[in-house]
């Protein structure tokens, strides 16, 4: 099985995401702006990492493992 990230358009069209957006009173335009800003920031960070010869995902892996070990979860009620 292969994994690929959703495009911004796919995220905005996903029924489950749309339900959450409605519940949180987030507009489609607001969500699109948020996702585009996040994508731009990620591209910039990756470019800086490449220029410095770093793989940014390496620094994130220990953080993700620590989060899993801590057992903390968001209250989604």
Of 7-16, 28-37, 42-51, the poorest mean pLDDT is in 42-51
Residue 22, domain member (yes or no) = yes
Token pair of 63 as six digits: 């953080």
**What span, in angstroms and rounded, lies between the C-alpha atoms of 16 and 52?**
39
Query: Distance (Å, rounded) from C-alpha 77 to C-alpha 62?
Result: 28
* 2: in domain: no
Higher pLDDT pick, 56 / 45: 45
| 25 within some domain | yes
pTM tops 0.75, yes or no: no
Domain that holds residue 59: 8-70
**How many domains are contained in the chain?**
1
Q: What is the pLDDT of residue 76?
A: 46
């Amino acid at each position: 099985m292969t994994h690929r990230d959703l495009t911004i358009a796919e995220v905005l069209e996903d029924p489950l995401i749309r339900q959450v957006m409605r519940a949180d009173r987030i507009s489609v335009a607001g969500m699109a702006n948020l996702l585009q800003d996040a994508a731009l920031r990620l591209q910039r960070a990756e470019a800086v990492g490449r220029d410095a010869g770093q793989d940014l995902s390496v620094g994130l892996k220990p953080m993700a493992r620590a989060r899993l070990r801590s057992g903390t979860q968001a209250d989604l009620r």
